[in-house]
């Protein structure tokens, strides 16, 4: 018996332009026949990594970069600290720089604040996130990184500082932090560097989720942005199901004639959502 599901994909979901550009650059190199390495995952999505892996990209970590000589390495959208550029130069490694222009610009702003304006820098972000490592690397790792308001040790915060953010952090968390500093007498200069491609997703998701009986949220298990957006989506629509691929779908989630919305994180490839749509429509 057919389930007769009506299935739509969220138009505003899929990769952000920074990631699309990085993947385009990688594919262009592969088309030219270049033996291409990529430092770290190009996107936090195993399905996309395996697709690119099959096309020939080899994903490597920093330790492998240190040993690599005379090759071509792509630096992904998150950006890299100066140390990675130095290693590449010393090893005669050619760089395909796919750092997102928004992040590149942010790196410059942080450098200017610190070196030209003598500002103490605080970054709201995840300590080990590659984007934060690259941002902090611009100023010789002298930034104070704050992941969560509860972790703040006020004794370590200077009386005057400039606050930046990892581009994918939540806006509300950033402004709560601003309030916290102000309430505690810190003279804080606010540099809101959150990428609106990510922060606008919540409003878009809310509007999209309301329109369907069930939501399939597609993201990689490793995507932190995916987890945040999935939990948000589940609040709006309790019948939201997280999957990383169509094999994870349980058909018993659906009733006959359900309307199903498919959406995802900024690291979810459109082709993966299209595959899930086709699969559901066949049920």
Is 135 near ligand SF4 (CB under 6 A)? Answer: no
Within positions 180 to 209, which residues make up the interface with ligand SF4, using CB under 6 A? 195, 197-198
Residue tagged active-site, from 131, 247, 274, 281: 131
Q: By beta-carbon distance, which residue lies closest to ligand SF4?
A: 18
For residue 58, report the phi and psi dihedrals to the nearest 5 degrees.
-110, 125
Residues 87-116 that bind ligand SF4 (CB under 6 A): 100, 102-103
Residue of 199, 240, 266, 267 interacting with ligand SF4 (CB under 6 A):
266
CB of 163 to ligand SF4, least distance (A): 17
Q: Does 126 bind ligand SF4 (CB under 6 A)?
A: no
DSSP state of 151: G
Q: Please identify, using beta-carbon distances, which residue of 102 and 186 lies nearer to ligand SF4.
A: 102
Q: HSE (CB half, 13 Å, CA atoms) of 196? A: 0
Q: Is 16 in the site for ligand SF4 (CB under 6 A)?
A: yes
Q: Is 232 in the site for ligand SF4 (CB under 6 A)?
A: no
Start-to-end C-alpha separation, the chain: 8
- Packing angle, helices 101-111 and 17-31, rounded to 10: 110
E strands, 76-159, where?
94-97, 121-124, 144-146
Strand boundaries in 13-143, DSSP class E: 36-39, 58-60, 72-75, 94-97, 121-124
| 168 is an interface residue for ligand SF4 by CB under 6 A | yes
Q: In whole angstroms, how far apart are CA 27 and each of 21, 186, 263?
A: 10, 47, 25
Q: Which is nearer to ligand SF4, 74 or 198 (CB)?
A: 198
For the question of residue 131 being annotated catalytic, the response is yes
Q: Which is nearer to ligand SF4, 21 or 258 (CB)?
A: 21
Each residue of 179-190: b (16+ CB within 10 Å) or e?
ebbeeeebebee
Q: Residue numbers of the site for ligand SF4 (CB under 6 A)? A: 16-19, 77, 100, 102-103, 167-168, 195, 197-198, 266
Residues with active-site annotation: 131
């Amino acid at each position: 018996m057919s389930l007769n599901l009506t299935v739509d994909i969220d138009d505003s979901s899929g990769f952000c332009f920074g990631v699309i550009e990085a993947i385009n650059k990688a594919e262009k190199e592969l088309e030219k026949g270049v033996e291409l390495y990529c430092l770290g995952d190009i996107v936090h999505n195993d399905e996309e990594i395996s697709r690119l892996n099959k096309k020939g990209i080899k994903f490597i970590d920093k330790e492998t970069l240190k040993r690599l000589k005379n090759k071509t390495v792509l630096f992904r959208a998150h950006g890299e600290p100066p140390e990675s550029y130095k290693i590449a130069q010393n090893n005669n490694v050619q760089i395909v720089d796919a750092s997102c222009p928004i992040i590149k610009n942010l790196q410059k702003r942080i450098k200017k604040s610190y070196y030209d304006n003598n500002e103490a820098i605080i970054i709201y972000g995840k300590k080990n996130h590659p984007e934060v490592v690259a941002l902090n690397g611009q100023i010789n790792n002298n930034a104070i990184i704050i992941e969560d308001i509860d972790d703040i040790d006020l004794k370590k915060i200077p009386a005057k500082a400039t606050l930046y953010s990892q581009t994918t952090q939540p806006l509300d968390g950033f402004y709560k932090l601003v309030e916290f500093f102000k309430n505690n007498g810190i003279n804080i200069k606010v540099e809101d560097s959150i990428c609106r491609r990510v922060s606008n997703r919540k409003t878009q998701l809310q509007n999209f989720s309301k329109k369907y009986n069930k939501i399939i949220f597609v993201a990689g298990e490793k995507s932190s942005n995916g987890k945040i957006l999935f939990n948000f989506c589940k609040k709006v629509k309790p019948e939201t199901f997280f999957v990383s691929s169509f094999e994870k779908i349980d058909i018993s989630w659906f009733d006959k004639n359900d309307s199903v919305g498919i959406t995802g994180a900024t690291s979810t490839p459109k082709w993966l959502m299209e595959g899930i749509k086709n699969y559901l429509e066949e049920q």
